[in-house]
Amino acid sequence: MEATSEKSKGAPVSSVNSPHRPYPMERTRNIGIAAHIDAGKTTTTERILFYTGLIHRMGDVDDGNTVTDWMEQERERGITITSAATTCYWTQKDDGTYKAFQGVPHRINIIDTPGHVDFTAEVERSMRVLDGAVAVFCGVAGVQPQSETVWRQATKYRVPRIAFVNKMDRTGANFENALNDMRRKLGAYAYPVFLPIGKEDHFRGVIDVVNQKAIIYDPEDENGLKFDIVEVPAELKESAAAALAELIDAVSNKDDALAELVIENKPITPEALKAAIRRLTCRIELVPVLCGSAFKKRGVQPLVDAVVDYLPSPLDIPPATGIDPDTDQRIEVPSNDNGKFCSLAFKLWTDPYVGKLVFFRVYSGQLNKGDVIYNPRTRKRERVSRVMMIQADKRIDVETTYAGDIAALVGLKNITTGDTLCDEDFNILLEPPTFPEPVISMAVEPKTKADREKMSEGLQRLAEEDPTFRCFTNEETGQLIIAGMGELHLEIIRDRLFREFKVAANAGAPQIAYRETVTKAAEGEGKFIRQSGGRGQYGHAVITLAPNERGKGIEIENKIVGGAIPKEYIPAVIDGIEEAVAGGVLAGYPMVDLKVAIVDGTFHEVDSSELAFKMAGIFALKEAAKKANVILLEPIMKVEVTTPDEYQGDLLGDLNRRRGKITSIEAKDSSTVLTAEVPLAEMFGYATAIRSLSKGRAAYSMEPFRFEPVPANIVAGILDTVKGRPAARS
């Protein structure tokens, strides 16, 4: 296809683009908006949708009328619970003077993610399929705990990002402090491409560092549409020039093309500097920093320009990689409409109108309505009956999706989050997103017998959607247990059961999701022998058990030589070991971080069976564990408390009483930030306690940090509770 003039039809269309796609991949951006709770993600998204023309009236979180927070629970609570996908279009401006030309816009697919730690799975799976991210920081609080979590998730999936320091209109806003926080706490190579003009009540615009222009917003215009592009005010010229010099220096340290211009003392044009910043941002070597106030509608248009200028298109990032499930060989999947179809299902959602939706990101090829797709995990084929593009809670049917698109399918069966969907002759497994383990559980039961069946169906559907939510039956008590990432997470699950599945449920008190592990190596032998006339049962396995590195999980290795246990029975032994590990040996909690090796055993020519060897695996693991000093682990939370100075002592004392370990105390303007590691078991009711100790003036946030051994004096009480006896008083 002939390249067309950018002024008339858009960017030149490369050979990787289908001639039928409405927007070339070069002009596509898949981005996420991610941050700590209350940093302003949803408000920022809402402003972007308004300025790009997708909506004609801006909603506000406080009013419960935003586009991306469309669930009833989100609007009632003013928080984001589920990541919402939406698509908007932005006509790029020329040479920084902000005068639009008549060209083909860029298409920006935006995912607004939750900030609350209980819904971290939504951020995790979104990061897995995004090409770039906008990290939003509060201009007052700077880098907060969940900001660090989001940053780590973006780093894990190698997602390039730009930073937006929001809330510059708030009392106590400080751009420099937020920038230093990013460098110190996140280790970010962060440099401003925009600077604020004024702050707090006097925040009136931003300085474009690259173009050395000032954008002054009209205070009379409530929508932030009227602004003047002027020369930098005289009193700010020096700081703007210094910021440009610092930016050029920082970029030339890492970009050879710009370094050459600096060494040869050639003029550095805004275009050359922008191109260098883009190269470094796409390689995750630089974080351009912008600022503004989404609530006051200032600085948002430059942010959308920066998304287009600096964040990558699907062609600017390394190809996705996967493995051939038959040979374990690594396969690259370059973004190309003309390649074989390959995509990743990153989210399942139950829609009240169309049924089960499967959100997927296309990495290569095209998918048409009526095509047959293949799932390498299940080795099943399915015909695609309906393909949709998503606009928050609206669904738009389309005939075809192309490489780089994020879309949804309807009606697929036997699918889970993280499945690869591809052409049958392109057998590949893409790396799925990984999710943290639940840390809290509670028993639930339907209020009436009629609700029992509906509840079990509802919980199963919710567990399919949310990989961090589990539901299972406690075999000893017969109770139905739900487990998740926090009290709010389980509260939302119960609320959704009631609203979406019309099931009212009673719930018990929240329980901690403890884990078990071992502290030394041991050997265990398991024998299962039954003889009762006719054919008997015979299975015999010997295993070794040792602690694994914390966080490494369970590793089971087959070290059988010489056929002591025939190959066909090894999977049965492994099944038995896995079943014993899931049920624990000390208090019925799952075991973690173990190395297990099957080293020996014997078999009987006639009586051996899979069942016998499975039982032998269970007995061997339990015997080894008894010798290996099993201990209980409890979830430790990272807690950050921001308090006025006068309440610091009371709150420190309270954290110490909760077995907290204070890791840092930091003074910030008129407040103090306490960071501590506290067992989750001690954090129930903390919201009420912190309010009463600080007269409602302190705030806190917490996130799962790691598992640590439970102190010996507390273990006995936990074991008594588990066994149904009242805990002994210490």
pLDDT digits (tens, 9 = 90+) for 573-621: 999 999 999 888 888 888 999 999 999 999 988 888 999 999 999 999 9
Amino acid identity, position 172: G
Domain borders along the chain are 25-310, 320-430, 441-506, 516-628, 632-722
Kindly list the distances between the CA atom of residue 398 and the CA atoms of 23, 48, 68, 337, in Å, as whole numbers in the listed order.
14, 24, 21, 16
pLDDT tens sequence across 436-475: 778 788 888 888 777 777 888 888 888 887 888 888 776 6
Tell me the pLDDT band of 7, cut-offs 50, 70 and 90.
very low
Fold match between domain 441-506 and domain 632-722: yes
Inform me whether the pLDDT recorded for 385 exceeds 80: yes
Q: How much is the pLDDT for 160?
A: 95
CB 236 within 8 Å of CB 196: no
Tell me the pLDDT band of 13, cut-offs 50, 70 and 90.
very low
pLDDT tens sequence across 328-374: 889 999 999 999 999 998 888 777 677 778 889 999 999 998 899 99
Residues constituting the chain: 730
Task: Enter the DSSP assignment of 647.
Answer: G
Q: How much is the pLDDT for 683?
A: 85
The answer to whether domain 632-722 has CATH 3.30.70.240 is: yes
pLDDT average, residue stretch 125-151: 86
What is the residue-averaged pLDDT of the chain? 83
Q: For the domain covering 441-506, report its CATH number.
A: 3.30.70.870
Tell me the pLDDT band of 11, cut-offs 50, 70 and 90.
very low
DSSP E strand boundaries for 593-729: 594-602, 630-644, 661-668, 671-679, 699-709
Q: For residue 54, which of 100, 28, 27, 85 has the smallest C-alpha distance?
A: 85
Amino acid identity, position 30: N
Class of domain 320-430: mainly beta
d(CA 553, CA 570): 20
pLDDT average, residue stretch 400-417: 86
Inform me whether the pLDDT recorded for 551 exceeds 70: yes
Q: How much is the pLDDT for 485?
A: 80
Q: For residue 118, which of 613, 475, 637, 667 has the smallest C-alpha distance?
A: 637
Inform me whether the pLDDT recorded for 59 exceeds 80: no
Q: How much is the pLDDT for 277?
A: 95
What's the CA dihedral at 596, 435, 513, 483 to 10 degrees? -130
Tell me the pLDDT band of 243, cut-offs 50, 70 and 90.
very high
d(CA 692, CA 383): 59
Q: How much is the pLDDT for 507?
A: 79
Inform me whether the pLDDT recorded for 643 exceeds 70: yes
Q: Is the pTM of this model over 0.85?
A: no
Which of residues 544 and 725 earns the better pLDDT score?
544
pLDDT tens sequence across 319-336: 989 998 888 889 999 999
Class of domain 25-310: alpha beta
Inform me whether the pLDDT recorded for 480 exceeds 90: no
Q: For tokens 């690869």, name the residue.
A: 420
Arch. (CATH architecture) of 516-628: 2-Layer Sandwich (3.30)
Which of residues 482 and 287 earns the better pLDDT score?
287
d(CA 410, CA 221): 44
Q: How much is the pLDDT for 393?
A: 60
d(CA 450, CA 383): 36
d(CA 54, CA 44): 14
